[in-house]
């Protein structure tokens, strides 16, 4: 199977990966650039052809070559960065080589701990905005498909088992802890803070947050890791009901994913919407 076909299959299957293609390279004589289908040389003398492709998967498995070992390593590093940033870009490489890194990724994943009423509202909003919401709670009477029909999956298990069933926590996983139950909150946060999760938010008043912080420190969580917790969770929208609270949480999650602070657009500077490659 060609690299392009494998990349297409990866996209169809909802996988994550990047296809790196040589789009321009200095000609062998130097100075000018090769046309498509032409060839140039990498700094160490290896022949590099326009159109060569390298496929990099989320587990760092690499298929194909661009014609040079060092260029392959550079391309894989760009692919690793961009597949988790979830954007495609044109990148420069040594020797006048230009690479296009084409990225595919599944819809973002939001793991909600606590099968509470807020979680039901958050599930519906996450689904409506194209996210994959999961609900986790060991209390089987609450963690049911009937209560959360819009969840990708409802897992009635403790956090350790739930994370294992979800295949672990990667850099594209966002976590919202909503239970208000210290033994459940703390168990989820200890694991979340030791992971590569892109976002960890927790519900509760500032007094509750301070008490939680003391418990987590006593449990051995490093103080610098505690600073990762977005708490109280959500943006300051002034919401009062469940739907508005869910909107506040979802707004913060989307802002973090896109690298924004979540302020008012009327106060923003620069581009309102980023233009993709």
Q: Is it the case that residue 4 has pLDDT exceeding 50? A: yes
Measure the CA–CA gap between 22 and 77, rounded to whole angstroms: 15
Kindly give, in sequence order, each residue whose CB lies less than 8 Å from that of residue 52, ignoring residues fewer than 6 positions away: 21, 22, 64, 65, 66, 67
In the structure, what pLDDT confidence band is assigned to residue 23 with cuts at 50, 70 and 90?
Answer: very high
Q: Which CATH number among 3.20.20.140, 1.10.10.10, 2.40.50.320, 3.40.50.720 corresponds to the domain 109-265?
A: 3.40.50.720
The number of angstroms, rounded, from the C-alpha of 231 to the middle of its chain's C-alpha atoms is 20
Place 176 in a pLDDT band, splitting at 50, 70 and 90.
Answer: very high
Q: Where are the domains of the chain?
A: 11-104, 109-265
User: Quick one: what percent of the chain has pLDDT higher than 90?
Assistant: 63
Of all residues in the chain, the percent with pLDDT exceeding 70 is 88
* 156 phi, psi to nearest 5 deg: -90, 85
Angle, vertex CA 130, rays to CA 275 and CA 120, nearest 5 = 140
- pLDDT at residue 32 is higher than 70: no
pLDDT digits (tens, 9 = 90+) for 133-150: 999 999 999 999 999 999
Instruction: Label residue 276 by pLDDT band (50, 70, 90).
Output: very low
CA distances (Å), origin 153, targets 18, 116, 143: 27, 15, 10
Q: What is the pLDDT of residue 29?
A: 40
Residue 96 has pLDDT above 90, yes or no: no
Q: What pLDDT, on a 0 to 100 scale, did the predictor assign at position 42?
A: 58
């Amino acid at each position: 199977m060609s690299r392009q076909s494998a990349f297409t299959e990866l996209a169809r299957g909802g996988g994550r990966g990047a296809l790196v293609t040589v789009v321009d390279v200095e000609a062998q004589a130097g100075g000018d650039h090769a046309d498509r289908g032409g060839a140039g040389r990498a700094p160490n003398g290896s022949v590099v052809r326009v159109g060569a492709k390298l496929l990099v998967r989320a587990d760092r498995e690499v298929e194909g070559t661009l014609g040079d070992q060092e260029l392959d390593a550079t391309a894989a590093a760009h692919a690793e960065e961009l597949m988790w940033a979830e954007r495609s870009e044109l990148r420069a490489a040594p020797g006048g080589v230009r690479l296009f890194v084409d990225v595919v990724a599944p819809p973002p994943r939001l793991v909600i701990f606590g099968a509470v009423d807020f979680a039901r509202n958050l599930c519906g909003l996450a689904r409506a905005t194209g996210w994959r919401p999961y609900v986790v709670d060991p209390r089987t009477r609450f963690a049911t498909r009937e209560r959360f029909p819009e969840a990708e999956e409802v897992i009635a298990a403790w956090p350790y088992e739930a994370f294992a069933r979800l295949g672990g926590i990667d850099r594209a996983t966002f976590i919202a802890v909503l239970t208000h139950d210290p033994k459940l909150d703390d168990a989820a946060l200890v694991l979340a803070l030791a992971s590569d999760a892109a976002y960890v938010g927790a519900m509760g008043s500032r007094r509750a947050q301070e008490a939680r912080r003391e418990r987590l420190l006593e449990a051995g969580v490093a103080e610098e890791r505690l600073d990762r917790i977005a708490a109280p969770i959500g943006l300051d929208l002034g919401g009062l009901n469940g739907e508005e609270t869910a909107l506040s949480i979802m707004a913060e999650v989307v802002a973090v994913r896109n690298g924004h602070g979540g302020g008012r657009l009327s106060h923003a500077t620069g581009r309102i919407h980023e233009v993709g490659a």
